Amino acid sequence: MSKNIAISDDVYRRLKREKGDRSFSEVIADKLDGGGEISDVTGQGIFDAETPAKVADEIDRLSEGTMDRVTDEDL
């Protein structure tokens, strides 16, 4: 039996590089059987715990006034 899963293009490229002649299932199973975690294959956990909040703050900062500028340009 097989299941379909969705992964990002980046993760797909990483798995494809790793797989060689093996199936994707074999690559993931080998990683899990070797004491790894699925996050080792998917790239999760590559940022420290503070990074998401810093990124969100930066997006907020860069977005400030955007709607005002768009509204002004429409006039």
Mean pLDDT throughout 44-69? 80
Distance CA 36, CA 14 (A): 16
Asked if residue 60 has pLDDT above 80, the reply is: yes
Pick from 11, 68, 63, 61: which is nearest to 39 by CA?
A: 11
Mean pLDDT throughout 17-43? 78
Asked if residue 5 has pLDDT above 70, the reply is: yes
* Element containing residue 52 per DSSP (H, E): helix 51-63
pLDDT at 6: 87
Beta strands in 1-75 (DSSP E): none
pLDDT at 65: 78
pLDDT at 15: 86
Mean pLDDT throughout 26-32? 84
